[in-house]
Structure 1
Amino acid sequence: MSITMRNITKRVFVKNNVCKYFIKIMSQNYTGLIGLFDEENDNIRVPHIIKNGYVYIAFENNELERFIFEALRSLKTNINDYDDYEFIDIIISNNLNSFVIYHTSDWADIPIDEMDFAVKDNEVNLETISFWSYNRDLKLENIEDPFIEIPKNHIDSFDFLKIDRINYRDWQSYDDFLKECNTIK
Structure 2
Amino acid sequence: MELTPEYYDKGEYIETDTGNKVSRKSVIHGSQNIILGGKTIIQTGTVVRGDLRRSGTAHAVVIAIGKYALLASRSVVRPPSKVYKSIFSYYPIKIGDFVHIGEGSIVEAAQIGSYVQIGKNCVIGRFAIIKDCTKILDNTVIAPNCIVPSFSVYGGSPGALIEELPECWSQVMEKNAKIYYSMFTPK
TM-score (norm 2): 0.23
Larger relative contact order (Cα-Cα within 8 Å, sequence gap ≥ 6): 1
| Structure that is richer in strand per residue | 2
TM-score (norm 1): 0.24
